[in-house]
């Protein structure tokens, strides 16, 4: 039987993004990684409620040559060691590669759903950028936009706009989240 999941963008949702000029960037190393307040507890609550927890992240700096795959892998190893995550899926391509896995394409979510036997209609995508939200909508998930007021395009449509993963977990587990599609 398929199960529900919460798909989580990484930078800005689970860990602090490095914001320069109103634009978010990933931390440069595992040592610079700062897990946001309340994230571990929110993830534990979601896990107790039966949700699989899957990180889906674009990491184009690897393709651009400004970040190493080893540094990204070290960040993911630290997240996996400190948080109750079921999987971490990353796209290392840039827009020019036109891959199926780089958000806003839904490939990371669809592949994880196939591999982990997830019911996409019962899943929620939590992200802080338009690409995250569009990927979730394209995959058939409910969407939670974490608004950090970046100086960039906002998503056009989402189910709810909140300020943190802690708030998102409350919405997902509460009546509003359950009633959004009636599937949780």
SS3 letters across 12-54: CCCECCEEECCEEECCCCCCCCCECCCHHHHHHHHHHCCCEEE
User: Choosing from 9, 128, 132, 159, which is the catalytic residue?
Assistant: 9
Q: 3-state DSSP call for residue 182?
A: coil
- 73 tagged catalytic: no
Which tokens in the block code for residue 50?
């039966």
Nearest of 96, 101, 20, 18 to residue 57 by alpha carbon: 101
- 111 tagged catalytic: no
- Helix residue ranges, H only, 35-106: 39-48, 61-64, 69-82
Would you call 117 exposed, middle or buried from its count of C-beta atoms within 10 A (0-12, 13-18, 19+)?
Answer: exposed
User: Choosing from 11, 128, 132, 159, which is the catalytic residue?
Assistant: 11
Which residue numbers are catalytic? 9, 11
């Amino acid at each position: 039987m398929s199960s529900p999941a919460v798909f989580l963008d990484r930078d800005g949702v689970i860990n602090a993004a490095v914001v320069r000029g109103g634009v978010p960037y990933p931390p440069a190393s595992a040592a610079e990684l700062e897990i946001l307040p309340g994230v571990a507890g929110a993830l534990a609550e979601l896990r107790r409620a039966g949700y699989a927890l899957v990180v889906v992240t674009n990491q184009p700096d690897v393709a651009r040559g400004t970040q190493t795959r080893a540094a990204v892998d070290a960040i993911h190893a630290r997240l996996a060691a400190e948080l109750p995550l079921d999987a971490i899926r990353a796209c290392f391509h840039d827009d020019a590669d036109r891959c199926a896995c780089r958000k806003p394409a839904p490939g990371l979510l669809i592949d994880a759903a196939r591999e982990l036997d997830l019911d996409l209609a019962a899943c929620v995508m939590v992200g802080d950028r338009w690409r995250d939200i569009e990927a979730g909508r394209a995959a058939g998930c409910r969407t939670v936009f974490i608004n950090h007021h970046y100086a960039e395009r906002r998503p056009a449509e989402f189910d709810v706009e909140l300020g943190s993963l802690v708030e998102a977990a409350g919405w997902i587990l509460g009546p509003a989240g359950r009633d959004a599609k009636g599937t949780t």
